[in-house]
Chain A
Amino acid sequence: MKIVDQVLNGDKRATAKLISMIEDDERGASEALAAIFPHTGRAHTVGFTGPPGVGKSSLINRLVREFRERGKRIGVVAVDPTSPFTGGAVLGDRIRMADTGTDPGVFIRSMATRGHSGGLALATFDAVKVLDAFGMDLVFVETVGAGQSEVEIASRAHTTVVVQQPQSGDSVQALKAGILEIGDIHVVNKADLGGADAMVSNLDFMLEERMGWRPPVLQTSALEGKGIKELADAIVKHYRYLKAGPMWRRREADRARKELYESMRRLLAETFSEDAAGETLEGEVAAIVSRKTDPRTAAKKLLRDLKLGR
């Protein structure tokens, strides 16, 4: 496909267009994804999560510059929520990422969740693949930190950075359950505001080594540019850890498994939303309502008789 060749040749406009095609689920999107897939798997994907306003975008902005100085090419996918009422969104992460300007080695894409739960959009990790194929060494994903989104990003990125800010009072109690488990790297940003030391030692106290990796706890100030080199070093160190042992492959397999299930679910939904198949489905629905069959039996029957289209 032409658009795929253009992406592989480093054409930014084509890369942006392909991401839109996937987001809008346009004709040709799945073929294009299939065509780029062999060219992916190289980029180190780093997810950033944490409550609104802790400084994720500002940190990414600093890290992009740091990694550019180290000669790396960087992609960013920044996700913000879609309004459930209007379907629209204001995507504002770029405001804090303005430093990179027209640097050809950087590609930043803002993305709305479009009703997908978990703080990510359905197309987020397909966009990551496109940026990977485009030739990015690292791809940063910024997600909206709310509830289960942390878990979602952690099951898909190679490295998950959990960003927090100093909290007053008993910060140990304030830590959201689950946040400790998913962070490969923990960051206390806004250290310039004070109170970061206590927060760091509280976090540090609660973290343990698992599978040969002890999540570090770092202090940063994205505002003053402090602690950025150390954070970049930690990201590189985690990459080396993943690559040195079985973990890289294991994370790739976790992701592949997730994407496989997701694709199957989508294919099923698409198949049954098409007219002819819809009738079959409605037939079973009626049979369940009149107690001629039960949902599980009907599901098995439908799957057995299934002729997947497209």
Chain B
Amino acid sequence: MAKKIRVLIAKPGLDGHDRGAKVVARALRDAGMEVIYTGLRQSPEDIVEAAIQEDVDAIGLSSLSGAHMALFPDVVKLLKKRGAGDIVVVGGGIIPDEDVAKLKRAGVRAVFGPGTPLAEIVEYFRSSGT
């Protein structure tokens, strides 16, 4: 059996909209990946713990509330602390340009804004798994 790409999709922070996250989850599934969906309001600690137990290749984080500046880098930091720095962290949602650069410096590998074509996102996750 070939190695399956496994991705965790999580929605940290307090806002309650996960439509975007679900659309991405389904697109990844349709591209043949296994997507672990953890739902809303997860703390960075919970997300990292789940990512380790599920042995994912990548984590997709979605945020619409502006909490991304605190939460996304925390996930990256905690992963490193747990010896899982090889897990790729990707962000998505409504994120201002000036934040994108900061997030990338903090170790978030890619950031996808609302208009990003799904195919581009899928391709990014596919390359992260190999």
Contact = CB atoms under 8 A, between A and B. Distances in A.
Tell me, yes or no, whether A binds B: yes
Interface string A65-90: 00000000000000000110011111
A112 interface: yes
B20 interface: no
B34 A102 contact: no
Given A89-B29, A89-B34, A114-B1, A98 B55 contact: no
Interface string B21-48: 0000110111111111111001101100
Nearest to A103: B49
A94 B37 contact: yes
A3 to B, nearest CB: 12
Interface residues of A, number: 30
B55 A20 contact: yes
B29 A107 contact: no
Contacts, number: 85
B100 interface: no
26 contacts: A12-B53, A13-B83, A16-B53, A16-B54, A20-B55, A24-B1, A24-B2, A82-B34, A83-B30, A86-B29, A86-B30, A88-B28, A88-B32, A88-B35, A89-B34, A90-B37, A91-B37, A92-B37, A94-B38, A94-B39, A98-B39, A101-B49, A102-B46, A108-B53, A110-B34, A114-B4
A17 interface: yes
B82 interface: yes
Nearest to B54: A110
Contacts of A108: 50, 53
A19 B31 contact: no
B36 A110 contact: yes
Contacts of A102: 45-46, 49
Interface SS of A by simple majority:
mixed
A94 B82 CA distance: 21
Given A24-B3, A26-B3, A86 B32 contact: yes
A206 interface: no
- Closest 4 pairs (CB-CB, A-B): A88-B29, A95-B39, A16-B55, A87-B32
Contacts of B42: 98
A131 B82 CA distance: 20
Nearest to B51: A16
B110 interface: no
B29 A109 contact: no
A224 interface: no
B53 A109 contact: yes
A192 interface: no
Interface string A22-45: 011110000000000000000000
A89 B34 CA distance: 5
B31 A88 contact: yes
Given A12-B52, A88-B34, A88-B35, 16 more contacts: A23-B1, A24-B3, A25-B1, A87-B4, A88-B29, A88-B32, A90-B29, A91-B34, A94-B50, A95-B37, A98-B38, A101-B46, A102-B46, A108-B50, A109-B53, A109-B54
